[in-house]
Amino acid sequence: MKIVHLVKPLALMSVFLISNSIFAGPVTEIQGAQHFDDHIAKNNLVVVKFHSPMCGHCKSFAPEFQQAASIPGVSFIAVDITKPENKAILGRFPLSGVPTVYYLKGGSKVGSSTGSQKASELKQTVKNKFAL
């Protein structure tokens, strides 16, 4: 009897996990300047999100960023500005607030935006910045 009650929640969880993996690509959480540099060198089009785990706007933007990470050929990465290993990265990118998103093409900055946005808006911005 107890097993029957577990089947439905587990099935729903499986559908949720599968649908999230279909509709959103992976976001790589950067762990230091070398990891950042290696990732930029391997990917031509990169969307970089600078965030803080204590920031309310960052928390609300996180699922939107994750959902937008489904654009083929574009890599999405996140940099936690509170981690000591990421401090060296921050000197290269001026931040007036978080979340801040930078758009990199071939390692060069082609634009940035600050503040939370919906996934659909971010996708459109990415397509415009990278001429996709």
- Domain ranges, ordered by start, for the chain: 25-129
User: What local confidence, expressed as pLDDT, does residue 24 receive?
Assistant: 52
**48 DSSP assignment:** E
Let me know: does 118 contact 66? Beta carbons within 8 Å: no
Q: What is the pLDDT of residue 12?
A: 40
Asked whether the predicted pLDDT for residue 77 surpasses 90, the reply is: yes
- CATH architecture for residues 25-129: 3-Layer(aba) Sandwich (3.40)
Residue 83: Cβ within 10 Å count: 15
Given this model, what pLDDT does residue 6 score? 47
pLDDT, tens digit, 9 for 90 and up, residues 6-16: 444 444 443 33
> What are the b/e assignments for 35-69, b being 16+ CB within 10 Å?
bbeebbeebebbbbbbbbeebeebeebbebbbbbb
Residue 51 pLDDT class (50, 70, 90 cuts): very high
Average pLDDT on 29-39 reads 97
